Amino acid sequence: MNFSRLLNQTVTRWPVDDPLGDGGYAYGSPVTFAARWQDKIELFVSAAGKEEHSQAIVYSIAPVHTGDYLFLGISTETSPLAVEGAKEVRAVGSSPSIDATQHLNKAWL
């Protein structure tokens, strides 16, 4: 299955970075990619092992990591904290296609 045809929305991603390794986070330049954004409450288990509820779920072929910020639409702001509606990725998962040529990534926000 080709996941690309199902991803008809544009999402902006700010990758999380800890340049000094001291827990002081910075964010990389915004990058846009095709995705499917659902405003949906879903129970998930966080990286810390806690059950939490999402505010939204984003599906993409592009890689997404815990701590990144995502926004439905296009933004050129340098910080996701300045963008109303940008949400932090709190958990991620991935599933391969049947023929294993693609992976569909799922991010819980």
When divided into structural domains, the chain yields a total of 1
Task: Give the confidence band of 24 by pLDDT, cuts at 50, 70, 90.
Answer: low
Q: Give CA 23 to chain center in angstroms.
A: 20
What's the predicted TM-score (pTM) here? 0.88
Q: What are phi and psi of 36, to 5 degrees?
A: -125, 115
Q: Which range of residues forms the domain containing residue 63?
A: 3-108
Task: Give the confidence band of 3 by pLDDT, cuts at 50, 70, 90.
Answer: low
pLDDT at 39 over 80: yes
Q: Which residues contact 32 (CB under 8 A, 6 or more apart)?
A: 10, 11, 12, 13, 74
CATH number at residue 25: 2.40.10
Strands of the 103-108 sheet, one edge to the other: 87-88, 69-72, 9-14, 31-38, 57-60, 103-108, 91-96
Summarize the confidence of residues 9-34 as an average pLDDT.
85
Summarize the confidence of residues 94-100 as an average pLDDT.
80
